[in-house]
Amino acid sequence: MKLDNATVFITGANRGLGLAFAREALARGARKVYAAARDPATVTLAGVVPVKLDVTNAEEVAAAARAAGDVTVLINNAGIAATGGFLAENSIESAQRHLETNLYGPIRLTQAFAPILARNGGGAILNVLSIASWINGPLLGNYGMSKSAAWAMTNGTRIELRDQNTQVLALHVGFIDTDLTAGFDVPKQSPESVAKTALAALEDGASEVLADEITRQVHRGLSAEPAVYLKATGE
C-alpha cells in the first residue's frame, strides 16, 4: 500500500508515535492525514485534519467514520500502558481499561472503517502492537495481555479482510521514547525511526514488521528451548 496520494487516519495522533506517523505519512506524499485525539485542540501539526476521537466511545468512532469516508489507510495507534501484574488488587479494573483501549478500540475502528476501505479499493490497516504481545511479567501484565489479544485480533482480521484486498500489518516493537515510557530506564527507539520502519514495511506490502533488534531477538526466541516467553519481561 503506497502512501503517495493516500488518505490516512491515525488514532492517538497528537503526540508520540502517532504524531511521528502523521509526519512520516505527509513526508511520503499522503494526500490527507486525519489526526485523531481525545482533544483535537492538542493536534498542532500543520497539514493534518484534527478529529475528536476517544477509541473507547462507539458513538465517536461512528462519527469519525462518517466524517472520513475517503480513508485508504487506518493506523490503530492509540493505546494505554499501566504497570502492575495480575495479582495486584486492582488487576481486574486495570485489565478492563487496557482491553477497552488496546483491543476493543482497534476492533471498533476496524469494524467502522473496513467498509470504507473496501469502497476505496481495499487499502490497509496498521495495528501498533508490542514486544509484549509475546512476553509478559509483573511489570506490564495487563498491557501485555491486551497486546497479545490485539495480535490475535490482527491475525484474524487479516484473514477476514483478505477478500476485499485490505492489507493488515502488525507492528511489533520494544520501548519507544514517548510520554508512555517516560518512567522506564531502558533502551528506547525514537518514534520517528519506528514510524519510518513501519510505513516502509506497509509500502512493501508486508503483513508483519519487527521494528527493532530486541523485538527480532524475542521473535527468534519464541521457538527456542526454553522459549523466551517462559521468562518474565526484562529477565
Question: What pLDDT does 35 receive?
Answer: 98
- For 101, residues 6+ apart whose C-beta sits below 8 A from its C-beta are 55, 56, 78, 79, 80, 146
The pairing of beta strand 124-128 with beta strand 7-10: unpaired
Distance CA 50, CA 235 (A): 41
Quick one: which of 19, 33, 130, 24 has its CA closest to 73? 33
Q: Which residues contact 46 (CB under 8 A, 6 or more apart)?
A: none
**Contact (CB, 8 A) for 55 and 150:** no
* pLDDT (0 to 100) of residue 189: 87
Quickly name the fold that domain 7-230 has.
Answer: Rossmann fold (3.40.50)
Distance CA 9, CA 124 (A): 11
Note the pLDDT tens digit of each residue in 131-151. Answer: 999 999 998 999 999 999 999
Tens-digit pLDDT profile for the chain (235 aa)?
999 999 999 999 999 999 999 999 999 999 999 999 999 999 999 999 999 999 999 999 999 999 999 999 999 999 999 999 999 999 999 999 999 999 999 999 999 999 999 999 999 999 999 999 999 999 899 999 999 999 999 999 999 999 999 999 999 999 888 776 666 677 778 999 999 999 999 999 999 999 999 999 999 999 988 888 887 555 4
CB distance 141 to 97 below 8 Å: no
If you count them, how many residues does the chain have? 235
- Residue written as grid cell 516502509: 200
**CB proximity list for 198: less than 8 A, separation 6 or greater:** 21, 126, 169, 171, 209, 211
Report the catalytic residues: 143, 147
Cβ neighbours of 49 (radius 10 Å): 15
Q: Is this prediction's pTM over 0.85?
A: yes
The 10s digit of each residue's pLDDT in 24-45 is: 999 999 999 999 999 999 999 9
Q: Look at the alpha carbons of 160, 3, 197, 12 in this order and tell me if their dihedral is positive or negative.
A: negative
Q: Where are the domains of the chain?
A: 7-230
